């Protein structure tokens, strides 16, 4: 896959992501999954994220891109946690 092609049940968006996500939320019955720090921050600022799923891995990294951009402050309430394989823990949160 590249930035020019996506898999099934996926949509490549260039331009007004906020309106595309609003439209998808009104049309879709199921979950809409997004990934990436920049996109997550953009949608968080507009209130379009209903649930955050954070996968915690038992790894220490010396660098990388933070999930939440600098200047973004969120108040979240916990929805639950689940232990997965290989020491991964899924943490679920919703906007408070």
The pLDDT-based confidence of 94 (bands split at 50, 70, 90) is very high
pLDDT in tens, 55-85: 999 888 888 777 777 778 889 999 999 999 9
Q: What pLDDT sits at residue 87?
A: 92
Contact residues for 86 (Cβ-Cβ < 8 A; gap 6+):
none
Q: What digits encode the pLDDT tens for the residues 13-63?
A: 888 889 989 998 898 788 888 877 788 888 998 999 999 999 999 888 888
Options 1.10.287.3240, 3.30.420.10, 3.40.430.10, 3.40.50.300; CATH for 17-95 is 3.40.430.10
Write out the two tokens for 4.
């020019």
* Residue ranges covered by each domain of the chain: 17-95
| CB within 8 Å of 29: residues ≥ 6 apart | none
Whole-angstrom distance, CA of residue 76 vs CA of residue 89: 18
Cβ neighbours, 10 Å, residue 49: 20
């Amino acid at each position: 896959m590249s930035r020019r092609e996506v898999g099934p049940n996926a949509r490549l968006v260039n331009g007004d992501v906020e309106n595309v996500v609003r439209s998808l939320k009104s049309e879709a019955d199921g979950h809409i999954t997004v990934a990436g720090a920049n996109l997550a921050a953009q949608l968080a600022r507009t209130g379009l994220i209903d649930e955050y799923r954070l996968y915690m891995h038992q790894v220490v990294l010396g660098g990388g891109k933070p999930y939440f951009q600098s200047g973004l402050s969120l108040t979240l309430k916990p929805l639950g946690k689940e232990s997965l394989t290989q020491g991964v823990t899924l943490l679920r949160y919703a906007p408070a």
